[in-house]
Amino acid sequence: MTKLSTTFATLAVLLPVVLGQAAEWGQCGGIGWSGATTCVSGTVCTVLNPYYSQCLPGSASSTPPTTTTGGSTPTSTAPASTATGLNKLAQAAGKKYFGSATDNPELTDTAYVAILSETSEFGQITPGNSMKWDATEPSRGTFTFTNGDVVASLAEGNGQLLRGHNCVWYNQLPSWVSGGTFTAADLTDVITTHCGTVVGHYKGHIYSWDVVNEPFNDDGTWRTDVFYNTLGTSYVQIALEAARAADPNAKLYINDYNIESTGAKSNAMLALAKSLLAAGAPLDGIGLQCHFIVGQVPTSLQTVMQQFTALGLEVAITELDIRMTLPATDALLAQQETDYENVVKACMNVEGCVGITVWDWTDKYSWVPGTFSGQGAACPWDENFNIKPAYNGIAAALA
């Protein structure tokens, strides 16, 4: 990965660094905060809640901003820990990280990058798109890592863990794969080459890989994509073995959604995990995506995580967001705070739940409105980078 340091050098100039003063959008106060308490010129340290003050653009006389509730009061109680920032709180609680997904187009937004780079908040990054098959091997045998390297360099420069996402998925496949006609031997070679090359490129730089993404339909049957149709269930082990050979130290995951409650789909994932482990396949973890709806967070999340950890696997919450029908109201945001708190508590209650990743931290760059018309406000920060009550729900659960 020779281009990584060069890429980081380029990115580094985007990040504001002023010794002794917090950068624009940076933290400048709050209970337990021991960093800078003054802000760079043109910004003012603004109390957002007792635990978090932020350098926001404006002068000292400017009115403190409110959250998207239009001024609703966070309801969380004081955390017992002295750590502040979600990643600091998570690590103080024994987790490996609290992290966020990101995507390359957002990295031109310097205010966004500055907050994403705050390791008190985020100790881990997942590239939302740039390590997927269509991005990395658009035609057979031709690999492009430019965008993935930018995200990897950002994480490495910040000292943040990196989750690789993903090797084998039915979606965002180039047409030479999705529409190809392969013998079993040929597709085995395609998968082995793809996973081996991509995982190998990032060898030593990745905490964990979503080697296989979303193998099941919601009723627990196998998704009938080119991989399953050609190789049956064996493609999963083929991909895992290629990944393990390419980077023996990366934790290898299968990642899916709607496996966060007990039922047909989580049972199917459990059965797959058991059969892979019995066959000696290199499987280390299960990713529970956790794309939820306000007021509808599954109550059996902790139980499901414990079912996987009972097999000796680790689990992670890999793509958390909790969407609502817009417009956001105080009541919806309060429910969202409770929902985020409950999700994070479930991870806290399971020792083998290693970390939590939000599928981007700000509503400005959430995937939700583009996919679910009329829905959004799914992230812990609003589109103006102000924290929402959801943030306090997460912090309360981690404390």
- Told to check if 171 binds ligand G3I by CB under 6 A, we report yes
Residues 73-112 within binding reach of ligand G3I (CB under 6 A): 103
Site string for ligand G3I, 181-200 (x = CB under 6 A): --------------------
Rounded Cα gap, residues 229 and 267, in angstroms = 22
Q: How far is the CB of 70 from ligand G3I (least distance, A)?
A: 28
- Told to check if 137 binds ligand G3I by CB under 6 A, we report no
Q: Which is closer to ligand G3I, CB of 289 or CB of 392?
A: 289
Distances (CA, A) of 196 to 2, 30, 332: 18, 46, 45
* # binding residues, ligand G3I (CB under 6 A): 9
Residue count of the chain, please give it. Answer: 399
CA end-to-end span of the chain, whole Å? 37
- Told to check if 145 binds ligand G3I by CB under 6 A, we report no
Distances (CA, A) of 336 to 101, 264, 296, 377: 19, 27, 10, 10
Q: How far is the CB of 210 from ligand G3I (least distance, A)?
A: 8
Say if residue 327 is exposed, middle or buried (CB neighbours under 10 Å; 0-12, 13-18, 19+).
exposed
Contact residue for ligand G3I among 5, 66, 75, 172 (CB under 6 A): 172
Q: Which is closer to ligand G3I, CB of 273 or CB of 288?
A: 288
Catalytic residue among 24, 214, 260, 314: 214
118 phi, psi to nearest 5 deg = -75, 110
Contact residue for ligand G3I among 117, 129, 230, 386 (CB under 6 A): 129
Q: Are 113 and 154 in contact (CB under 8 A)?
A: yes
Residues 308-337 within binding reach of ligand G3I (CB under 6 A): 319
Site string for ligand G3I, 240-279 (x = CB under 6 A): ----------------------------------------
355 phi, psi to nearest 5 deg = -175, 175
Q: How far is the CB of 208 from ligand G3I (least distance, A)?
A: 15
Tell me the β-bridge partners of 323: 293
Say if residue 182 is exposed, middle or buried (CB neighbours under 10 Å; 0-12, 13-18, 19+).
middle
Active site residue 341: no
Q: How far is the CB of 323 from ligand G3I (least distance, A)?
A: 11
Q: Which is closer to ligand G3I, CB of 147 or CB of 153?
A: 147
Cα dihedral 49, 50, 51, 52 sign? positive
Q: Are 391 and 69 in contact (CB under 8 A)?
A: no
Contact residue for ligand G3I among 308, 367, 381, 385 (CB under 6 A): 367
Q: Which is closer to ligand G3I, CB of 127 or CB of 389?
A: 127
Q: How far is the CB of 213 from ligand G3I (least distance, A)?
A: 6
Q: Are 237 and 279 in contact (CB under 8 A)?
A: yes
Contact residue for ligand G3I among 26, 127, 128, 389 (CB under 6 A): 128
Active site residue 24: no
Q: Which is closer to ligand G3I, CB of 128 or CB of 376?
A: 128
Say if residue 17 is exposed, middle or buried (CB neighbours under 10 Å; 0-12, 13-18, 19+).
exposed
Two tokens, residue 379: 């992230």
Q: Which is closer to ligand G3I, CB of 87 or CB of 289?
A: 289
Rounded Cα gap, residues 138 and 174, in angstroms = 6
- Told to check if 289 binds ligand G3I by CB under 6 A, we report yes
Catalytic residue among 118, 314, 319, 337: 319
The residues carrying an active-site annotation are 214, 319
Residues in touch with ligand G3I (CB under 6 A): 103, 128-129, 171-172, 213, 289, 319, 367
